[in-house]
Protein backbone atom coordinates (compact mmCIF):
# COMPACT_ATOMS: atom_id res chain seq x y z
CA UNK A 1 0.00 0.00 0.00
CA UNK A 2 1.36 3.40 -0.94
CA UNK A 3 1.23 6.66 0.93
CA UNK A 4 -0.19 9.06 -1.62
CA UNK A 5 -0.46 12.48 0.00
CA UNK A 6 -0.94 14.63 -3.11
CA UNK A 7 -2.13 14.32 -6.69
CA UNK A 8 -1.95 16.57 -9.73
CA UNK A 9 -4.25 17.42 -12.59
CA UNK A 10 -3.45 15.72 -15.87
CA UNK A 11 -2.29 17.82 -18.79
CA UNK A 12 -4.27 18.01 -20.94
CA UNK A 13 -7.35 17.37 -18.82
CA UNK A 14 -8.92 14.04 -19.75
CA UNK A 15 -12.05 14.11 -17.61
CA UNK A 16 -14.19 17.12 -16.67
CA UNK A 17 -14.68 15.65 -13.20
CA UNK A 18 -10.96 15.29 -12.50
CA UNK A 19 -9.63 16.74 -9.26
CA UNK A 20 -6.42 17.00 -7.31
CA UNK A 21 -5.89 16.58 -3.60
CA UNK A 22 -3.38 17.15 -0.83
CA UNK A 23 -3.09 16.24 2.81
CA UNK A 24 -3.72 19.22 5.07
CA UNK A 25 -3.61 17.71 8.55
CA UNK A 26 -3.52 14.18 9.91
CA UNK A 27 -6.14 12.22 7.98
CA UNK A 28 -7.74 15.37 6.55
CA UNK A 29 -7.40 16.12 2.82
CA UNK A 30 -8.37 19.04 0.59
CA UNK A 31 -9.92 18.18 -2.78
CA UNK A 32 -9.88 20.76 -5.58
CA UNK A 33 -11.55 20.47 -9.02
CA UNK A 34 -9.10 20.70 -11.90
CA UNK A 35 -11.56 22.80 -13.87
CA UNK A 36 -14.53 24.96 -13.00
CA UNK A 37 -17.86 23.46 -13.92
CA UNK A 38 -21.28 22.86 -12.53
CA UNK A 39 -21.92 21.72 -8.99
CA UNK A 40 -19.71 18.90 -7.81
CA UNK A 41 -20.90 15.91 -5.85
CA UNK A 42 -18.21 14.21 -3.79
CA UNK A 43 -18.25 10.65 -2.47
CA UNK A 44 -15.47 9.84 -0.02
CA UNK A 45 -15.81 6.06 0.16
CA UNK A 46 -15.89 5.93 3.95
CA UNK A 47 -19.63 5.67 4.52
CA UNK A 48 -20.16 9.40 4.98
CA UNK A 49 -22.93 11.19 3.00
CA UNK A 50 -22.13 12.64 -0.43
CA UNK A 51 -21.12 16.28 -0.26
CA UNK A 52 -22.15 18.90 -2.86
CA UNK A 53 -19.98 21.93 -3.57
CA UNK A 54 -20.29 24.93 -5.91
CA UNK A 55 -18.38 25.00 -9.18
CA UNK A 56 -14.63 25.13 -8.77
CA UNK A 57 -14.67 25.20 -4.96
CA UNK A 58 -12.44 22.97 -2.86
CA UNK A 59 -13.76 20.72 -0.13
CA UNK A 60 -11.94 19.34 2.90
CA UNK A 61 -12.73 15.92 4.30
CA UNK A 62 -11.35 14.12 7.34
CA UNK A 63 -11.34 10.34 7.11
CA UNK A 64 -12.31 8.38 10.21
CA UNK A 65 -9.60 5.78 10.03
CA UNK A 66 -5.97 5.67 9.03
CA UNK A 67 -3.99 3.04 7.23
CA UNK A 68 -6.87 2.49 4.81
CA UNK A 69 -7.46 3.15 1.13
CA UNK A 70 -10.56 5.14 0.16
CA UNK A 71 -11.82 5.72 -3.38
CA UNK A 72 -12.90 9.36 -3.61
CA UNK A 73 -15.25 10.14 -6.49
CA UNK A 74 -16.28 13.48 -7.96
CA UNK A 75 -19.30 13.64 -10.23
CA UNK A 76 -20.30 16.61 -12.41
CA UNK A 77 -22.49 17.39 -15.39
CA UNK A 78 -20.66 19.37 -18.06
CA UNK A 79 -22.62 20.78 -20.99
CA UNK A 80 -25.31 18.22 -20.43
CA UNK A 81 -22.91 15.27 -20.18
CA UNK A 82 -22.32 13.49 -16.85
CA UNK A 83 -18.72 12.82 -15.83
CA UNK A 84 -17.30 10.88 -12.91
CA UNK A 85 -13.72 10.61 -11.75
CA UNK A 86 -12.26 8.56 -8.89
CA UNK A 87 -8.88 8.23 -7.24
CA UNK A 88 -7.62 6.06 -4.42
CA UNK A 89 -6.47 8.01 -1.38
CA UNK A 90 -4.22 6.30 1.15
CA UNK A 91 -4.64 7.76 4.59
CA UNK A 92 -1.53 6.14 6.12
CA UNK A 93 -1.19 8.58 8.98
CA UNK A 94 -1.71 6.58 12.12
CA UNK A 95 0.54 6.96 15.10
CA UNK A 96 0.27 4.41 17.88
CA UNK A 97 2.71 3.65 20.66
CA UNK A 98 2.36 1.30 23.60
CA UNK A 99 3.57 2.36 27.03
CA UNK A 100 2.77 1.66 30.66
CA UNK A 101 3.67 2.38 34.26
CA UNK A 102 3.47 0.11 37.30
CA UNK A 103 3.40 0.38 41.07
CA UNK A 104 3.66 -2.06 43.96
CA UNK A 105 0.34 -1.62 45.73
CA UNK A 106 0.42 -4.37 48.37
CA UNK A 107 2.50 -6.94 50.19
CA UNK A 108 0.45 -9.83 51.57
CA UNK A 109 1.10 -12.49 54.16
CA UNK A 110 3.68 -10.41 55.94
CA UNK A 111 4.70 -11.07 59.58
CA UNK A 112 3.44 -8.74 62.27
CA UNK A 113 5.25 -6.57 63.01
CA UNK A 114 6.30 -5.88 59.42
CA UNK A 115 10.09 -6.04 59.13
CA UNK A 116 10.53 -6.08 55.36
CA UNK A 117 8.95 -7.34 52.17
CA UNK A 118 11.40 -10.23 51.98
CA UNK A 119 9.32 -11.96 54.67
CA UNK A 120 5.96 -11.58 52.87
CA UNK A 121 4.12 -14.23 50.88
CA UNK A 122 3.09 -12.24 47.80
CA UNK A 123 3.38 -8.92 46.03
CA UNK A 124 0.57 -7.17 44.11
CA UNK A 125 1.45 -4.99 41.13
CA UNK A 126 -0.82 -2.40 39.50
CA UNK A 127 -0.15 -1.72 35.82
CA UNK A 128 -1.44 1.46 34.20
CA UNK A 129 -1.75 1.83 30.45
CA UNK A 130 -0.26 5.10 29.14
CA UNK A 131 -0.39 4.22 25.43
CA UNK A 132 -1.30 6.75 22.75
CA UNK A 133 -2.94 6.47 19.35
CA UNK A 134 -4.39 8.89 16.81
CA UNK A 135 -7.42 6.60 16.92
CA UNK A 136 -9.25 4.97 19.79
CA UNK A 137 -7.42 2.07 21.40
CA UNK A 138 -9.82 -0.86 21.63
CA UNK A 139 -7.79 -3.77 23.00
CA UNK A 140 -4.94 -4.50 25.39
CA UNK A 141 -2.95 -7.70 25.62
CA UNK A 142 -0.70 -8.06 28.67
CA UNK A 143 1.77 -10.86 29.36
CA UNK A 144 3.85 -11.13 32.52
CA UNK A 145 6.70 -13.61 32.23
CA UNK A 146 9.05 -14.86 34.91
CA UNK A 147 12.29 -16.43 33.71
CA UNK A 148 10.78 -16.75 30.23
CA UNK A 149 7.59 -18.57 31.25
CA UNK A 150 4.17 -16.92 31.11
CA UNK A 151 2.93 -16.27 34.64
CA UNK A 152 -0.12 -14.07 34.02
CA UNK A 153 -2.09 -12.55 31.16
CA UNK A 154 -4.84 -9.95 30.95
CA UNK A 155 -6.98 -8.10 28.42
CA UNK A 156 -7.88 -5.32 30.86
CA UNK A 157 -6.63 -1.82 30.22
CA UNK A 158 -5.15 -1.51 33.71
CA UNK A 159 -4.63 -4.97 35.20
CA UNK A 160 -3.44 -6.10 38.61
CA UNK A 161 -1.03 -9.03 38.89
CA UNK A 162 -0.01 -10.87 42.04
CA UNK A 163 3.22 -12.86 42.27
CA UNK A 164 4.94 -14.64 45.11
CA UNK A 165 7.47 -12.88 47.27
CA UNK A 166 10.05 -15.42 46.13
CA UNK A 167 9.41 -14.57 42.48
CA UNK A 168 9.71 -10.87 43.25
CA UNK A 169 12.80 -10.82 45.43
CA UNK A 170 15.20 -13.54 44.32
CA UNK A 171 16.68 -11.92 41.23
CA UNK A 172 14.26 -13.50 38.77
CA UNK A 173 13.89 -11.99 35.32
CA UNK A 174 10.39 -10.51 35.28
CA UNK A 175 9.31 -8.97 32.01
CA UNK A 176 6.00 -7.48 30.95
CA UNK A 177 4.77 -7.12 27.37
CA UNK A 178 1.86 -4.89 26.41
CA UNK A 179 0.34 -4.95 22.93
CA UNK A 180 -2.31 -2.33 22.12
CA UNK A 181 -4.58 -2.29 19.07
CA UNK A 182 -6.67 0.64 17.87
CA UNK A 183 -9.96 0.77 15.96
CA UNK A 184 -8.08 0.71 12.64
CA UNK A 185 -6.31 -2.52 13.64
CA UNK A 186 -2.99 -0.71 13.97
CA UNK A 187 -0.98 -2.18 16.83
CA UNK A 188 2.21 -1.65 18.77
CA UNK A 189 3.99 -3.61 21.50
CA UNK A 190 6.40 -2.75 24.27
CA UNK A 191 8.41 -5.15 26.43
CA UNK A 192 9.96 -4.01 29.68
CA UNK A 193 11.96 -5.87 32.30
CA UNK A 194 11.22 -5.08 35.92
CA UNK A 195 13.13 -6.03 39.07
CA UNK A 196 11.75 -6.58 42.52
CA UNK A 197 12.56 -3.93 45.09
CA UNK A 198 11.44 -3.48 48.66
pLDDT of residue 37: 65
Do 96-194 and 19-90 fall under one CATH topology?
A: yes
For the chain, the straight-line distance linking the first and the last C-alpha, in angstroms and rounded, comes to 50
pTM beyond 0.85: the answer is: no
Residue 165: what pLDDT?
A: 84
Residue 127 to residue 103: CA distance in whole angstroms: 7
Q: Which CATH class is domain 19-90?
A: mainly beta
Residue 197 has pLDDT above 90, yes or no: no
Question: pLDDT digits over 61-118, tens only?
Answer: 988 766 667 888 888 877 778 889 888 887 766 678 999 999 989 888 887 776 666 6
Using CA atoms, how far apart are residues 5 and 110, in angstroms rounded to an integer? 61
CATH superfamily of the domain spanning 96-194:
Immunoglobulins (2.60.40.10)
Question: Distance between CA 137 and CA 188 in Å, rounded?
Answer: 11
The per-residue pLDDT for range 33-62, each reduced to its tens digit, is: 887 666 788 898 888 888 888 877 889 998
Q: Where are the domains of the chain?
A: 19-90, 96-194
DSSP string, 109-141: S--SS---GGG-SEEEEEEEE--EESS-EEEEE
Amino acid sequence: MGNSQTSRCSQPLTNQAEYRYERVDGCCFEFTPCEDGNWSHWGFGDGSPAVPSPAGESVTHCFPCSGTAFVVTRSVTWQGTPYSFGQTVYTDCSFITASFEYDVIAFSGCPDPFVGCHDCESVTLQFTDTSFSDNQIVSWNWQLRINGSIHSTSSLQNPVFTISDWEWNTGNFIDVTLTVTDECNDRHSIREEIRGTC
